[in-house]
Amino acid sequence: MEQFSRIDNSKNGLQVSRREQKISTAAFAVDASLETFRRCEDIGADILIVHHGLFWGREELLTGYHYERIRFLMEHDIALYAIHLPLDAHPSLGNNAGIAASLGLSDVKPFGLHKGIPIGMAGRLDRPMELFAIQQKLFGFDGNVIASLPFGPDEISSVAIVSGGAAFDVDEAIEKGYDLFITGDASHTIYHRCLEAGINVIFAGHYLTEVWGVKLLMEHLLKGPGSEAGIHAEFIDVPTGL
């Protein structure tokens, strides 16, 4: 995670420790929040591993909701570990890798430079697909997303992906000639440039584009070191709809 330390505001790594060192149950979630922490306590989790932690590169006073969050973790002896940009960018366990693998993309390449480091991925579909079929494949039968812009080819062959808040990376997708750009947060600002450039866009929602990494990491733990140590793991789903 060292290469991300200069570009990531998140304090990646262990953010809150615990008294007991033994870990029997690990919980995984997208966001560190009181609701998530309470559900960790319900399942007896010793550690929570999240994409969005509590510390973001500035001094945080232990007051208000921030105090309540830390207090809950300490009172229930739950450790908190955060992995932000490294989990977006990881080539096999990351959010973008998960979306790319689910689509079966081939010729996968790094995409979406953030301060000189690629965060996303891009590649080609083995068979062309329509926009709504891609939404269904990734996000369920109803294909529910925040919004989509059907401004590009009806038959999509190439896809660029940057999870989370990366709407302006569509410029790179346009420049490189991709048929579809997938990201999380919607942006009014890019509407007309996408229309004029003739590119499809899916704004799937920040949450839906960032469940992939923590789930893949959990599966990796269960198959590898966690399996050997007898650790139980559980994903805690707290969708925001955004």
Is 232 labeled as ligand-binding?
no
Q: Which helix (H) or strand (E) segment is 127 a member of?
A: strand 117-129
Is 77 labeled as ligand-binding?
no
C-alpha Rg value of the chain to the nearest Å: 19
How far is the C-alpha of 54 from the C-alpha of 68, rounded, in Å?
A: 12
H-type alpha helices, 44-84 = 64-75
How far is the C-alpha of 132 from the C-alpha of 136, rounded, in Å?
A: 6
Is 51 labeled as ligand-binding?
yes
Is 88 labeled as ligand-binding?
yes
Note whether 64 and 101 are within 8 A (CB): no
Contacts of 185 by beta carbon, 8 Å cutoff, 6+ apart: 146, 164, 165, 166, 167, 203, 205, 206, 242
Is 90 labeled as ligand-binding?
no
- Known binding positions: 51-52, 88, 206, 210
- Known binding positions for a divalent metal cation: 51-52, 88, 206, 210
